[in-house]
Amino acid sequence: MNDLELIRRLRSEMAETGPDALTGARERLLAVMARQPAPRRSRRTLTMRVTGLAAAAAVAAAAVVIATGPAALPVKPPAAAGDVLPLTSARNVLLVAADSAERAPQGSGTYWHIKRESEDGRRFWGESWTTRDGQRWSRGEPGNGPGVVKEPSGTFWLGPADSGTEVTMDELEALPTDPEALRQKVTAMQQGGPVGEHDVALLPLASLIAELPAPADVRSAAFRALAGLPGVRRTGAVDGGEELLIQNGRHESRLVVDPETSRVIRTSWIPTATGGLMGTNRGLLIKLTTGWTDELPR
């Protein structure tokens, strides 16, 4: 008889035992205890059986501890900003995008590529390829022909050319990563004062999140600075992201931001990296494609 059969039999006997049977069992137990000790071999066998039962019980107890102890609890990863902030306001959308920008890997590639076209692909508003050392090739940009043109200097405009400042790649990388310090820095780099109730920092900050090859921590600071400015509101979720309305003086811009990638994917009006102000009418939106690439200018 093995241990499990013994336990099963004992359990079945106990379930059927009455008072009289218990009295008789007690008497038999006392009689057995008065006998001479059993041979050593049988004692050893009994010890092995009890040890086996004890080991099984110990394993079962350990299993219970492992199954119910703190170590068995699943570890929940830290929440991202998108899991905490509902996308119900322009501020929240921009803060989630700031978090995504901060976590984005540093881009690699030979050229910073910017392309502007209509959503349906029927209109083209130019594209450019700029190297890290400041050489630029452009196609279809204002003032250039339809073919690829190499420009002697590939600086970027932080804000429109009539009020902003030209910056190099090194100067972009040296911009402050604190939102308030960044707002003050780009404000000092602009000509003129506030437009109505709005801040002159709005246009250069929009440039930093939309077209310029700013480092991840600078882009994150730009999103956070924009979140603290007036004149920015959310109009709702649209295809590809969240639509924001930016009012700046007499200019109104619709911006579609993907909070998960921190990219501005469509806009109706934007200060360009080359110092222009580009806008569309009749509800059209400019589709923006930006990023580092090794694809040659064409």
DSSP string, the chain: --HHHHHHHHHHHHHH--HHHHHHHHHHHHHHHHSPPPPHHHHHHHHHHHHHHHHHHHHHHHHHHHHHSGGGSPPPPPPPHHHHS-S-SHHHHHHHHHHHHHHSPPP--SEEEEEEEETTSS-EEEEEEEETTS-EEEES-TTS-SSEEEES---EEES-TTT-EEE-HHHHHTS-SSHHHHHHHHHHTSSS--BTTB-TTHHHHHHHHHTS---HHHHHHHHHHHHTSSSEEEEEEETTEEEEEEEETTEEEEEEEETTTTEEEEESEEE-TTS-EEE--TT--EEEEEEEE-PPP-
Q: What is the pTM of this model?
A: 0.70
Per-residue pLDDT of the chain (298 residues; tens, 9 = 90+): 555 454 455 445 444 445 554 455 555 545 545 555 544 444 444 343 434 434 444 444 444 333 334 444 444 344 454 456 788 999 999 999 999 999 988 778 999 999 999 888 788 989 999 999 989 999 988 777 778 999 888 899 998 888 889 999 999 999 999 999 999 999 999 886 554 445 788 889 999 999 999 999 999 999 999 999 888 899 999 999 999 998 877 777 899 999 999 999 999 988 899 888 888 876 789 999 999 999 999 8
Distance of CA 97 to the CA centre of its chain: 8
* pLDDT, position 34: 54
Cα separation, 97 vs 103, whole angstroms: 10
Residues in the chain: 298
Domains in the chain: boundaries: 3-72, 81-293
Rounded to whole angstroms, how far apart are CA atoms 209 and 249? 20
